[in-house]
Structure 1
Amino acid sequence: MYFMGEADLRTAISSSRLIRLLDYWDSRRSGATPPARSDIDPIEIPDLLGSIALIEAEGVPRRLRYRLVGSDLYEAHGGDMTGRYVDEVLTPELRAVILAQFAEVLDAGAPRLHRIEIDDSEGNFWRYERLTLPLAGRDGTVVMLLCGYADLGGRGFLRLRGERSRSGPRS
């Protein structure tokens, strides 16, 4: 598992879908300021919707809630996570790691790429790539995360139809 800063993202991403999501996000921001949620129009990225999630930061202490969850993620997790808190949905093996990764993007206000490989207590081997992109509130502080997910061949996670990596087609 690792993350990369903005300068390394484009070359490090293996998923063509995540590259398109990064390009879309980048086209919506103003200079160094992340785009706002209102700048993101799902109609413009219909082929990516199944593999993305919008996560809102709320309260003090900060807690993260799924505001939108794509259909591929719904299927991977066996149910709808929309409206639920991230810490309630994740397995114990993933919870601390994922929350720390999300906190880093919220605090830094910059995108991050993570590759995650983990066996969970339910017998799944999770191997995926996640691009986490900040979305700003009216005052410019990061209040939401736009996450794109791509399966890297694990058991029990995303099986994105038509996914292509830089090395060719995925099964």
Structure 2
Amino acid sequence: MTRDKIGGAKRAASGLLPPGADDRLLTFLEAWMGARRGRLVPNKQDFDPFEVPTLLRFTWLYRFDPVLDDFACLLAGEDVNRAWGAPIKGKTLRQIVGETDHPIVLQRWRAIIDTPLVQYGAKDEKLSNQDLWRAERLLMPLASSEECRDHVIGVSLYRLAAREEARAPLISEDISQILCKDI
């Protein structure tokens, strides 16, 4: 461990994600950490997803809209759109995840920007009407300014799951969270 500019112990990216997490998520986390420049959360303009060009097709970005009290999708890579069965850019989180899951997903995403924290999760889930997908995700906060953390950027790695089954409800054990102050 080393000391960072905000006074805390800086943890290596490799020790932050659970064992077995896809190495591509670690690469994305390292790029996000590099964009922090001594801040708790990087500014949106300082994070360049083109630093990890092989992950662009899996990358998405949402901004919190306080008027809607929801997140709106600003961009989504082609593999993300394919997994959801249609383009999701311009849609709200509620429109994308549906009424059943929206309250818990919104609560988790608000914690990402409000706390702030990094969230990792992996789960078999029905995203489109056709297939059961295995989704492994990494979600991180971004700030529009020092005072305004209002974006969530993430990478979602999808693959078809081996078995077809009913979609299980979201539970807290599906995710792990790391406080930004501990990174």
Q: Provide TM-score, normalisation by structure 2.
A: 0.70
Match of 1:113 in 2: 120
Given that 1:109 and 1:141 are in contact with CA atoms closer than 8 Å, whether structure 2 keeps it comes out as no
The code of the aligned residue for 1:129 comes to E
* 1:52-106 deviation line (CA, Å, top 9, x unaligned): 1001011245210000101101111122111111111224454333222212212
Counterpart among 147, 155, 180 of residue 148 in structure 1: 155
Alignment of structure 1 residues 32-47 onto 2, 5 Å: 32-47=39-54
1:74 paired to 2:74: no
Given that 2:14 and 2:26 are in contact with CA atoms closer than 8 Å, whether structure 1 keeps it comes out as no
1:137 paired to 2:144: yes
1:52 paired to 2:62: no
What percent of counterpart residues are identical? 23
What CA distance in whole angstroms lies between the structure 2 residues aligned with 1:154 and 1:94?
A: 20
CA spacing shift, 1:60–1:91, aligned 2, 3 Å = closer
The root-mean-square deviation of aligned C-alpha atoms, in Å, is: 2.7
1:84 paired to 2:87: no
Larger radius of gyration: 2
CA spacing shift, 1:22–1:138, aligned 2, 3 Å = same
What CA distance in whole angstroms lies between the structure 2 residues aligned with 1:80 and 1:11?
A: 30
Q: Tell me how many residue pairs correspond in the alignment.
A: 151
Query: Secondary structure at the residue paired with 1:111?
Result: strand
- Tell me which of the two structures has the higher relative contact order, counting C-alpha pairs closer than 8 angstroms and 6 or more residues apart: 1
Offset at residue 13 of structure 1 (A)? 5.8
Which deviates further from its counterpart, 51-60 or 119-128? 119-128
Could you list the runs of 5+ residues in structure 2 that have no partner in the other structure? Answer: 1-12, 163-183
